[in-house]
Amino acid sequence: MSSQLPELNAWIHTYASLTEADQVHWCDGSDEENGRLVKMMLDTGDLMALNPSSHPNCFLHRSSASDVARVEHLTFVCSKNREDAGPNNHWMDPAEAKAKMDALYKGCMKGRTLYVVPYCMGPIDSPLARCGVEITDSPYVVINMRLMTRMGAAALARIEREASFVKGVHSTGDLNPDRRFIMHFPEELGIQSFGSGYGGNALLGKKCHALRIASWQARQEGWLAEHMLILGVENPQGDTHYIAAAFPSACGKTNLAMLIPPEGYREAGWKIWTVGDDICWMRPGADGRLYAINPEAGYFGVAPGTSAKTNPNALAMLNDSAIFTNVAVTADNQPWWEGLPDGVPVKDWQGRDVDPANGPAAHPNSRFTVSAKRCPSYTAKAEDPQGVPLSAIVFGGRRESLVPLVFEARDWKHGVLVGAGMASETTAAATGAVGVVRRDSMAMKPFAGYNFGDYFAHWLSFDVAGAQLPKIFHVNWFRKNAAGKFLWPGFGDNMRVLEWMIQRVEGTASGRVTAIGTLPDVGELNRNGLALTDADLETLLAVDTLAWRTEVGAIADYLEEFGERTPQALFDELEKTAAALL
C-alpha cells in the first residue's frame, strides 16, 4: 500500500531506507489490524492481558524503567532563529539537530517493521482539525494512537485532499537515555523523536503535535492551541455554557473536566459534559465568539490518585477496552495503583513482587489510554466540526495563600496578564524546596512552541472590534488556613464556582470589584449543603493588598525574562493593578 500523495510516498521511502526497516506497513485503523497488533504484542510479551471478567479487552504494558516520563531537558524547538524559540524552550540549530537525528535513525529499524500512522487531530471533517503522519517502529504507539487520534484510512484521505500534514518520525531505538531526543521543527511542521517509547515522547500527536507544533501553526493561521480542558455546564433550563481551563500538573485538570455536581445540583437538573481533559484548539467564529475543539479522541491519563472518590467518571471508563502502562496488578490480574481503596497488588510496575522498599507498586506516572467515548459524561458535541462556543476561559494554580478562590479579570487584556502570571507553589512531591513559586504561563511552559513574548502578543491580538471573547477567570482550589488545612473542599463542589462564573457571563451576579479583579459578593456563592464557615469563606475571598504588591513585582520580573518581545500592554495592565493596590 502507498499514498496518492507523491510527497508522502517520497518521505516514507527516505526514512524506510535510512532506518533499514524490514518492511513498511500502512495503518488503516481497522479493528482487524488492531487485533493483529495486540495478538503480536501478547505473543512477544510487550502486552499482558488483564482479567477478562473484570477488565475485558484491557492490557498492561510495562516500559523500560528508564523510560517513564516526558524528558523536557532533551526536548528541543529547532527554529531557524534562536530568539523565535525563546528562553522558555531549549533550542538547537535545525541543521545540527537533523544531523544528530539522522545518525541515530541510521539502521535503527533493522529487523523491525516501519508503521505509517496517518492521523487527524480533531473531528475528521472539522475545519479546525489538522492532520499528521507518524512513522514509528512501535506497535504500542500504533494501538495508542488509534485511541488518542482519528487514525487510519479516513485521516489518510483527508491528508491526500489537503496535501498538508505534520511529519513525525519516531523510533524507540535502543531506549538508551543518553541517546534520547525529541526535536521539533516548527517552520517545517516536523517532529523527530528517538530513544523513548513513553507516551508524551512517542505518541507524536499528543504534546509534540497538538501543542508545540500546533501553537506555532496557530500563530501563523490566527487561532490558539492550548493546554486546556473543555467542559460544558448545562443548567436546569437546558442551556449549556462551555468553559476551557488551563492548570499546571497536580491541580485537578481531569477531575474538573469530568466533574460530578453535588447532589443538590444534580437534583435541580445541572449537568456537566466533558469535551476534553487536556488540549483545546480554538478559533474565532463568524459571530466573533471563540469556538473550541478537543483535537484528541481519547485520554492518556495518570492512574495514581484516580478513584471513585476523586474522579468516578474516569474510573468508570477503565473497566473495558483500555491500555494501562506501568500500573501494578493484583493476584487475579486486575490493574492497581495507589489511591484505589480495594485490591492488593502482588506485582509492581516492573513485574517484581511488591516490596515497599522498591517504592510505590504503580509508577507515580503510570497511565491509562482509553477512548473519550467511554467517559460517562462524554458529549457528542466533542465531534461537532465547528467546535463549541466558549463562554469562559479559566486559569488556575496551586497557591496556599495570596490568591483567592476565584476572581474575574477586568477584560481580555487583563485576562492575558492573569494567564501569563499564573503560578503554583512546589509541593513535597517535587524535589527541592517546598513552597517555591514557579510561573507556568497558561500552563504552557513545557509546550509552547515559540517565544513566550510572541505567544502573549498572539493572545492579545484576538481583542479586536466585533470580537465576542470569553470572560477570563482565575481559580485557586488550594488555599489553606493557619493550621495548614485546605479551606475549600474541591472536587464536585467546584461546581459552585462554575455556577458563579456562568452568572457573571449571563449578567446575573454583580460581584465585588477589587484591585486584582471581580470576586463573588456576599451571598453570591451557593453554599447550600456545604460545611463552610463565614470566616473560612472570608479567607478564601480575601485580597491581601501588601502581599499582592509583592506579587505584582514578581510578575513584572518574570515578564522581563522574555525581553523586548514581551508586549508593553502586559506591563501597562500590571501598572493598573499596582495603582489600584495603593
Contacts of 114 (CB under 8 A, 6+ apart): 12, 15, 16, 19, 21, 23, 24, 25, 135, 136, 137
Domains (range + CATH), the chain: 6-46+66-222 (3.40.449.10), 226-297+381-580 (3.90.228.20), 298-374 (2.170.8.10)
How many angstroms separate the Cα of 461 from the Cα of each of 12, 465, 562?
A: 38, 11, 18
For 267-288, what is each residue's pLDDT tens digit? 999 999 999 999 999 999 999 9
pLDDT digits (tens, 9 = 90+) for 419-448: 999 999 875 444 456 678 999 999 999 999
pLDDT bucket at 304, cuts 50 / 70 / 90: very high
Integer Cα distance of 155 and 159 in angstroms: 6
| Euclidean distance between the first and the last CA atom of the chain, given in angstroms as a whole number | 70
* Catalytic-role residue among 78, 251, 280, 375: 251
- Which three cell numbers mark 548? 499582592
State how far the alpha carbon of 54 is from the alpha carbons of 61, 330, 362, in Å: 18, 12, 19
Q: Write down the pLDDT at residue 432.
A: 57
Measured distance CA(181)–CA(422) in Å, rounded: 29
Contact 549, 581 (CB under 8 A): yes
Concatenate the DSSP letters of all residues of 244-269 into one string.
Answer: EEE--TTS-HHHHHT----HHHHHHT
Predicted local distance difference test score (pLDDT) of residue 1: 65
From 62-71, 90-99, 132-141, the region with the lowest mean pLDDT: 62-71
Name residues whose C-beta falls within 8 Å of residue 268's C-beta, 6 or more positions apart in sequence: 236
What pLDDT, on the 0 to 100 scale, is given for residue 429?
Answer: 46
Q: What is the DSSP letter of 404?
A: -
Neighbours of 165 (CB within 10 A): 24
Reported as a single tens digit per residue, the pLDDT across 329-370 is 999 999 999 999 999 999 999 999 999 999 999 999 999 999
Query: How far is 580 from 582, CA to CA, in rounded Å?
Result: 6
Amino acid at 487: L
Q: Percent of the chain at pLDDT above 70?
A: 98
**pLDDT score of 35:** 98
Question: Cα–Cα distance between 554 and 174 in angstroms, integer?
Answer: 44
pLDDT reported for residue 252: 86
User: Which of 296, 299, 267, 263 has its CA nearest to residue 281?
Assistant: 296
Give the relative orientation of helices 568-580 and 452-460 as an angle to the nearest 10 degrees. 70
| Per-residue pLDDT reduced to its tens digit, 449-473 | 999 999 999 999 999 999 999 999 9
pLDDT the model gives residue 433:
66
pLDDT of residue 202 exceeding 90: yes
| Residue type present at position 460 | L
pLDDT at 36 over 90: yes
pLDDT at 488: 97
Radius of gyration of the chain (CA): 24
193 SS3 class? strand
pLDDT attached to residue 324: 98
Q: What CA–CA distance (Å, rounded) separates 370 from 52? A: 16
Average pLDDT for the chain: 96
Place of cell 453535588: 262
C-alpha cell belonging to residue 277: 481533559
> Cα separation of 351 and 140, whole Å?
18
Nearest CA among 135, 192, 188 for reference residue 164: 188
207 contacts 218 by C-beta, under 8 angstroms:
no
Residue 310 has pLDDT above 80, yes or no: yes
Structure confidence at residue 278 (pLDDT): 96
- Taking residue 56's Cβ as centre, other Cβ atoms within 10 Å add up to 13
| pLDDT value for 293 | 98
CA atoms within 13 A on the CB side of 204: 34
Question: Is 27 assigned a catalytic role?
Answer: no
